[in-house]
């Protein structure tokens, strides 16, 4: 489940987020300082086992939810503002040069809002792509992907409301006990789950949300609305002057739709081919996510630089970036699973999502793999269980 088109409309509509002036392409700095080259054959030596350029297709414009991936870029990367991509040395812990390059491509408007799995199958130069485990189920027959790293433990997606208008609401289920309108983006799988389970009424949900804050602001927060815990609550309180009040919300994951969002995946048929690379690369990615969460400043600076240079209408402030990291840690959006490992998948959780999603997608005439199981969606084969967030 990628960020939909309405996310672009939010920032474009309110024109709030002012970015500080940033460096030119030639002097862009990143999260990593120049470090040594990996010793031949070492765990950090990717030359000869990985593609000479590892290409990662993201699901949206640069943002702090992608911080662990941008953390992997070495110093002075080359920014292609026209194609909305950035390329540099792929570095491991302490800036160690792995001997290959990393290219990170923006998604969303940069790829015509196309689903990342579809983009991966139309452009086979992409090594890894961001995707949701719900989409992996929906496209399991036609464009199968296999998750190899869950950078986000929980989805940041939420339903939000004003606590001033609804002081008695604590959960999404509380909204469903009323007739209050709930604005959301049409086609969201989680909403089919909520209405199918009776958590929300079909009569109260409105799929016409386009990202603009006007309806929520005009209602004084009396309606409910979808969003992201890492963005909208901060924006509505601190950057939308016409509202300027705290927001309350519940994560959709905590309301029963607990999918893996923004998992990094490969084309399923390339597992054997990429296995030698992934065995080394995935632990490097795990550690990069840990390092970003512990010290995000330099990588967030790069993300803000990319947003400004891409100049496609998406705006992103320092405040939103900083708040994103704070919320990801506080809410367990980035964190370890039930064990002490960051980035692994839980079969029971994947199976629960299959059980939820199959009837929904069947009703939508989506062609899924017959007898789909958790192993068809994700694997922990390349995860280092010793790497976790402390």
In tens, the pLDDT along 76-96 reads 999 999 999 999 999 999 999
> What's the pLDDT score for residue 345?
98
Q: Which domains does the chain have, with CATH numbers?
A: 22-153+259-376 (3.40.190.10), 157-255 (3.40.190)
Residue 211 has a pLDDT of: 87
Instruction: Specify the residue for token string 């550690």.
Output: 287
Q: How confident is the model at residue 35 (pLDDT cuts 50, 70, 90)?
A: confident
Q: C-alpha distances in angstroms, 388 versus 230, 290, 328, 384? A: 21, 7, 15, 9
- Nearest in space to 103 (alpha carbons), one of 127, 87, 120: 87
3-state SS assignment for residue 88: strand
Label residues 159-194 b or e (16+ Cβ within 10 Å = b).
bbbbbebbeebeebbbbbeeebbbbbbeebbbbbbb
Rounded Cα–Cα distance for residues 152 and 331 (Å): 11
At 313-352, the pLDDT tens digits run 999 999 999 999 999 999 999 999 999 999 999 999 999 9
pLDDT, mean of residues 115-129: 98
Does residue 263 have a pLDDT over 50? yes
pTM for this predicted structure: 0.92
Measured between alpha carbons, how far is residue 230 from residues 66, 153, 158, 354 in Å?
12, 14, 9, 26
Dihedral angle sign, alpha carbons of residues 156, 158, 164, 168: negative
Chain position carrying tokens 């927001």: 247
- The yes-or-no verdict on residue 17 having pLDDT over 70 is no
The residues facing 86 across adjacent strands are 79, 104
Nearest-5° Cα angle at 87, 85 to 88? 155
Residue 197 burial (10 A CB sphere; 0-12, 13-18, 19+): middle
The predicted pLDDT at position 10 comes to: 54
Signed CA dihedral, 344, 381, 379, 293: sign only: positive
pLDDT band for position 34 (50/70/90)?
low
């Amino acid at each position: 489940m990628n960020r939909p088109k309405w996310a672009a409309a939010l920032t474009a509509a309110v024109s709030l987020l002012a970015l500080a002036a940033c460096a030119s392409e030639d002097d862009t700095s990143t999260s990593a300082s120049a470090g040594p080259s990996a010793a031949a054959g070492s765990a950090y030596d990717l030359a000869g086992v990985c593609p000479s350029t590892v290409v990662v297709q993201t699901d949206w414009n640069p943002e702090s939810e992608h911080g662990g991936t941008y953390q992997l870029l070495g110093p002075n990367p080359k920014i292609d503002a026209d194609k909305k991509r950035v390329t540099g040395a792929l570095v491991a812990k302490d800036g160690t040069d792995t001997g290959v390059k990393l290219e990170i491509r923006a998604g969303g408007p940069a790829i015509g809002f196309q689903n990342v799995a579809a983009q991966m199958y139309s452009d086979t130069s992409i090594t890894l792509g961001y995707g949701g485990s719900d989409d992996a189920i929906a496209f399991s027959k036609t464009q199968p992907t296999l998750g190899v790293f869950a950078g986000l433990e929980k989805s940041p997606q939420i339903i939000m409301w004003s606590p001033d208008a609804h002081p008695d609401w604590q959960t999404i289920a509380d909204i469903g006990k009323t007739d209050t309108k709930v604005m959301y983006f049409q086609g969201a799988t989680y909403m089919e789950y909520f209405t199918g389970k009776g958590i929300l009424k079909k009569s109260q949900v409105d799929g016409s949300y386009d990202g603009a804050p006007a309806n929520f602001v005009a209602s004084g927060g009396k309606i409910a609305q979808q969003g992201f815990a890492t963005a909208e609550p901060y924006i509505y309180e601190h950057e939308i002057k016409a509202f300027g009040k705290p927001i309350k919300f519940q994560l959709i994951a905590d309301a029963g739709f607990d999918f893996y969002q923004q998992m990094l995946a490969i084309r399923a048929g390339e597992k054997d081919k990429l296995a030698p690379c992934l065995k080394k690369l995935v632990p490097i990615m795990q550690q990069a996510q840990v390092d970003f969460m512990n010290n995000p400043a330099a990588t967030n600076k790069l993300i803000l630089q990319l947003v400004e240079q891409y100049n496609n209408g998406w705006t992103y402030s320092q405040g939103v970036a900083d708040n994103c990291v704070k919320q990801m840690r506080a809410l367990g959006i980035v964190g370890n699973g039930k064990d002490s490992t960051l980035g692994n998948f839980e079969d029971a959780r994947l199976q629960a999502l299959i059980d939820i999603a199959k009837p929904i997608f069947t009703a939508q005439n989506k062609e899924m793999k017959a007898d789909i199981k958790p192993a068809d969606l994700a694997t922990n084969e390349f995860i280092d269980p010793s790497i976790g967030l402390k």
